[in-house]
Amino acid sequence: MKKLDAYKTYLFMQSATAMIFGVIFTVNMVYQVSVAHLEPLQLVLVGTMLELTIFILEVPTGVVADVYSRRLSVIVGYFLIGLGFLLEGSIPVFAAIAMGQMLWGLGYTFTSGATQAWISDEIGEQAAGQAFLRGSQAGQVGALIGIVISVLLGSIRVNIPILVGGGLYLVLGLIMVIFMPEHGFKPTPRGERNSWQSMGHTLRGGLKMVRVRPALVTILAIGLFYGLYSEGYDRLWTKHLLDRFSLPTLGGFSPITWFGVINAVGILFSTAATEWVRRRLDTTSHAGVARVLMLTTAGLIFGLLCYVWAGSFGLALAMIWLVDATRNVIGPVYTTWVNQRLDPSVRATVLSMSSQVDAIGQIGGGPLVGVIGNLVSVRAAMTVSSLLLTPILALYARTLRVPPEAEAPSPAD
């Protein structure tokens, strides 16, 4: 019964958080552009501050989940995220929005990893795998429901969905205080806890492995370039759409409805594209996986550039959906490719390093693109952001020419 309660609670958490995010993020960037009137550099800096908060605080906040309670960590995270969005939606100025995003980032670090660790503790690692899959499906349904709610509320006033989403996070935190069980938690031994020392050990160990495993240079370089481009698109695509095009009338609905349509159709296209690739890709084939990644990245670059330079709303809309689909395909396939090329003994370390490199790319690339947006134009900034992906094509081409076994370290290493 305890396992069943935890399983049901987990599915509810996944669907509820996805729904709330759907409510907030259907209009979040529209709010920052059209209500707060943030400039390109400010839009990107908001994202940079979010990423920097997560990067700095991920390790110290992880101690709460490891030492005190997974449940406590998740609940604290929900309250902080809710307060962050309430602040952002209440005061449409850069300083308040930036502070709200930092609170969201802080809250995210409390929930990141703690939610997965909690359900694994409660129902066991084997059963948790099935829970993750079901939770992802529940999240997709929740996200679609959230988009509909956001459109209805945003048609009244753009900031209402953000305020409602923030309030719902507080309500979710209270619900978890009452109903979230925790029976399987055992404090992590000191030597296995997250710490700055372990992060430093990861970096030192990773750098040592890079010297003897040339394949790791390729993996980390690709992760860096994916990070460099992403902030520019994520933070500026909405401003570009609103600045360049007059949104066509959609029945008797307000223009905010278009963003609901864009997000909902994007989810459907992404799900279909990922399933199509899953059925046809031999995940045990190094060449097959690398070729799919190279082609989808080329498709992503094509979609980004066509979106930036589109002369019609219809073409821009189609390219947004192409970008969504390719990005969602690249994520799991890239993880598969990285796992292929790593010895199990170093996999966790390299995956951790790859995540850190991606975050560094986002933190470094965002302000650069934002400055270009301020000094030149949003179109120029997004063009540069798109071109930051092009070195990845050469890196994938190289990995197709060099088989994995040729990059393995010698026995002496």
Please name which of 122, 112, 135, 7 lies closest in space to residue 51, comparing C-alpha atoms. 112
| Higher-confidence position of 281 and 74 | 74
Share of the chain above pLDDT 90, in %: 49
Q: What is the mean pLDDT of the segment spanning 189-215?
A: 60
CATH class of the region 1-193: mainly alpha
pLDDT at residue number 237 = 94
Element (H, E) at 186: none
Per-residue pLDDT of 331-390, as tens digits, reads 888 877 877 666 655 565 666 677 778 888 888 888 999 999 999 999 999 999 999 999
H/E/C letters for each residue in 131-164? HHHHHHHHHHHHHHHHHHHHHHHHCCCCCHHHHH
Identical fold for domains 1-193 and 195-413, yes or no, is yes
Instruction: Give the start-to-end residue ranges of the domains of the chain.
Output: 1-193, 195-413
Range name among 68-77, 85-94, 325-334, 394-403 with the lowest pLDDT average: 394-403
**Whole-number mean pLDDT of the chain?**
85
Tokens of 329: 């395909």
pLDDT at residue number 95 = 96
pLDDT at residue number 412 = 39
Whether 131 has a pLDDT exceeding 70, the answer reads yes
What is the DSSP secondary-structure string of 341-361?
A: TS-HHHHHHHHHHHHHHHHHH
pLDDT at residue number 93 = 96
pLDDT at residue number 343 = 60
pLDDT at residue number 55 = 84
The whole-angstrom separation of Cα 289 and Cα 94 is: 42
The CATH topology of domain 195-413 is Growth Hormone; Chain: A; (1.20.1250)
Of the pLDDT bands very low, low, confident and very high (cuts 50, 70, 90), residue 135 is confident
Per-residue pLDDT of 3-35, as tens digits, reads 558 889 999 999 999 999 999 999 999 999 999
DSSP state, 91? -
Non-local (6+) Cβ contacts of 143 within 8 A are 18, 19, 21, 22, 267
